[in-house]
Chain A
Amino acid sequence: MDTMNETIKQAPLLEARNLTKVYEDGVKALDNLDLQVLPGEIYAMLGGNGAGKTTTINIFLDFIQPTSGQAFINGINANEEPLEAKTNIAFVSENVQLYPNFTAIQNVDFFVRLGGRHNYSRSDYETALNRVGLQSQAFDKKLKDFSKGMRQKCGIAIAILKDSPAILLDEPTSGLDPKAGKEFIRLIGELRDEGKGILMSTHDIFRAKEIANHVGILNNGILVAQKTQAELKGVNLETLYVEYMAGYMDEAEPSLVNNLSEA
């Protein structure tokens, strides 16, 4: 692999090793997944519904145990020492839900302190909420009146404020309006530049190509393709994606794909 040299220099913040998950009902959601996210990198997981993206993230969060293989956060096994591992991670789900009776600020305050950051002031919370683009009139409104996008923004603000080395994002832009989506991509770009390692699942191929250092395509739990940003230059990722998903291609013939999409 071409990232081999970098791996030796820098320990990955997020790493999956031969990660396999077979659910109780026999569904193989992940099949020998290997991936690494280094500091200052964004890894975008693409894949259709049911490809295994959420399963991967749930294993990192220790919500489910892998059938075999390991997941590491900052070198700590996420399923053996979950408490230790989770101090190194922030998480934004595809549908951020907060306490409906608390205001935005109260929610942010609670979850940020739960994440171990106790010395923020109200103005820090306001700054973060401004940064994710939540209108300031909503800061002291109860969450029950928030739209999905507004909740999503609060979730992102919490992740930013937690200031952990690794970040897990499960379709974070779902529910965001185009402006907010664009804003968000700029934001995680900033976080990456601060040295965070970000693993993000998304259906947004264009944004993935625009921002991600690595793009992985999952199909039925198998990582069918993994490309660096450089490799994707000039490639029509959409075509590539559709073709991988349709099963036209497999990893044995990547050059064909490149040729096709460049044509």
Chain B
Amino acid sequence: MTKLLIEKELKNILLSPKFVATFLVCSILILTSVYIGIQEYHNAVTQFEANQQIARQDIEQASNWNRVRNIAHRAPSPMQVFVSGLHFDIGRLSGISDFQDIKLIRSPYSDETLFAIFRFIDFAFIVQVVLSLFAILFTYDAINGERENGTLKLTFANSVSRAQYLISKFVGIWLGLIVPLLIPILIGLLLIMILDVPVSGTEWISIGSFIGLSVLYITFFIGVGILVSSLTRKSSLSFLLLLVIWIGGVLILPRMSIMAAGQLVPVQSVAQLESKQEAFRRARWDQYSSQLSQKWRARSEEMSGMTNEERQAYRDDKEWEWLEEDDAARKQVQIDITDNNRKLIEETDNRKKIQEQLAFNLARISPASSFRLAAMNLAGTDIDMKNRYEESMRAYRDDFVEYTEQKQAESGNQGGFRINVSSDSGVKIDFGRDDQTLDTSGMPQYTAPVVTAGMAVSSSILDFGLMGIFIIIIFGAAFLAFLRYDMR
């Protein structure tokens, strides 16, 4: 009986014009997106390799190890084909040197602003926005449509249980929507292989998990459609309601949670932070200078009552000590200011992390955000990507600086330039080895931070769980609603 009902549901879907439209639209969208994504990826790889080459040449042509400027580039990942996430918004490169902090600059969109206007539509976007809409289109009249049609009465004039009917309805629609979607998805994966995108084993696991997540997400919306359809008598009403729910869940809720988090955990702006740093710096120097004058007052007091000679002798004796003392105090000021700056930045960063976490957790009320966050986590194009890259670049910077210092020492050059002043040759400025290229063999190479399958999956496990819970709740609710549904 269930099989018969599922068969009918499937046949009904396959024969309906909306099925053909959905299938065509989805296939075209998915395949175009994957194809363009692959092209984008290949372009990014070409650019990445060229930039690396240039950076290398720049180093080799530097006159001196001390003057070397290195640049680390963010490597393109095949995952950005499916989930571009923040890939286009985060800087592609950072300078690597001991005197500047790591900062990713020049995002793909800042370089190609035109593309930023019509952002790249990735597979995750298609699932999140387009397919969820289609899921609603397939389900808004699942129950009330059959009632309006009169077929519900005729069906239930037979020995059919409501549970059986609802399950068949769900399975039928699920098969009718998901299975056809798997066709363009599989073709997309085939494109990935044919067009030489180097996907690692880890990435295949991520892609598989991502497709699984997409299926769960669409399943959720099928459930929502069936629920609303069994809470209403008219399909026109359920369509309207579902549209409102969809707009709220997919478009509004994620943004509202970000704003709410901003209100609940305020984080100071960069300007505020800088003015705090400046205020501390000023106060600290003021303190230093008043301490200094106090000190000198004390010193001259020590000398009061001395004769001029005694005073001179005392001063000659103490001079070095005083100089060192003052110097230490000045150094301490520098250290304090640097420490305070770091502390303030750290505090802001921590608060920012709390805000971020709150925003994400609030956003997870909507499965659309849950889906998006998990997709980005799986693809490694999440908000942490920036941190991961900056951290690994910082580690690389340490290696690199150590290497250049060693090289510098080997070249017998103490750094900077040396000014020799001698009576016979006059002033000579020595930059070290001027006209040879530097030997960069053995120079540490920057490698992108590794995201293991375990990391990707474990960071999205929460969202998988949430999605499962959402689905169970929605189906429970749909079940209860349908048990009470008036068939007439």
Contacts and interface: CB of A to CB of B under 8 A. Distances in A.
B156 to A, nearest CB: 7
Nearest to B154: A111
Contacts of B5: 114
Interface in A61-75: 61-64
B378 to A, nearest CB: 39
Interface in B1-33: 1, 4-5, 8, 11-12, 15-16
Given A64-B488, A101-B15, A114 B160 contact: yes
B154 A96 contact: yes
Interface residues of B, number: 23
B487 interface: yes
A250 interface: no
Contact of A115 (B15, B149, B158, B487): B158
Nearest to B149: A97
A89 B157 contact: yes
Contacts of A116: 158-159
Nearest to A64: B488
Contacts, number: 72
Nearest to A87: B159
Contacts of B487: 63
B150 interface: yes
B488 A58 contact: yes
A97 B8 contact: no
Interface string A116-157: 100000000000000000000000000000000000000100
A96 to B, nearest CB: 7
Contact of A99 (B4, B151, B153, B157): B151
Interface string B140-155: 0000000001110111
B71 to A, nearest CB: 62
Contacts of A90: 157
B12 A63 contact: no
Given A98-B151, A99-B12, A91 B157 contact: yes
Contacts of A111: 154-155, 158
A98 B12 CA distance: 12
Contacts of B153: 61, 63, 91, 93
A99 B16 CA distance: 11
A61 B4 contact: no
A262 B372 CA distance: 82
Nearest to A100: B149
A114 B4 contact: yes
B161 interface: yes
A113 B12 contact: no
A95 interface: yes
B384 interface: no
A86 interface: yes
| Most chain A C-beta atoms within 10 Å of own C-beta, residue among B12, B149, B153, B157 | B157
Contact of B4 (A86, A87, A98, A113): A113
A58 B5 CA distance: 23
Given A101-B12, A102-B15, A61 B156 contact: yes
A260 interface: no
Contacts of A84: 159
